Amino acid sequence: MDTTRLPWWLLAAALVYDVMPLDLIPDAVPLVGLADDVGVTGMLLLAALVAWRRRRADAAGIEGT
């Protein structure tokens, strides 16, 4: 099993959240509605990156990352 791939489900969650019509804060609210989309998507992408780096480090046998 290749453990160096990005977690696909986090990337899929970010994409689904961006295109979903229902939102935590509606996009009709100026700036705040779009900021919530950027924040949630950014956190999901950051989580995917961290998980990918950890998996990659584990596969290479590197500790402390």
Q: How far is CA 12 from CA 35, 59, 61, in A?
A: 19, 23, 28
DSSP 8-state secondary structure symbol assigned to residue 20: -
Task: Answer whether residue 1 is part of any domain.
Answer: no
CA distances from 58 to 9, 11, 22, 64 (A): 20, 21, 37, 10
pLDDT higher than threshold 60 for residue 4: no
The tally of domains found in the chain comes to 1
Its pTM stands at 0.65
DSSP 8-state code for residue 29: S
Q: Could you tell me the pLDDT band of residue 6, with boundaries at 50, 70 and 90?
A: low
Per-residue pLDDT at 65: 52
Give the tens place of pLDDT for each residue, 11-62. Answer: 788 888 888 877 777 777 788 878 888 888 888 888 888 888 888 888 888 7
3 domain residue, yes or no: no
Residue 45 inside a domain? The answer is yes
CA distance 7 to 33: 27
For residues 7 and 45, the model is more confident at 45
Tell me whether residue 2 is in a domain: no
Q: Can you give the residue range of the structural domain that contains 19? A: 8-60
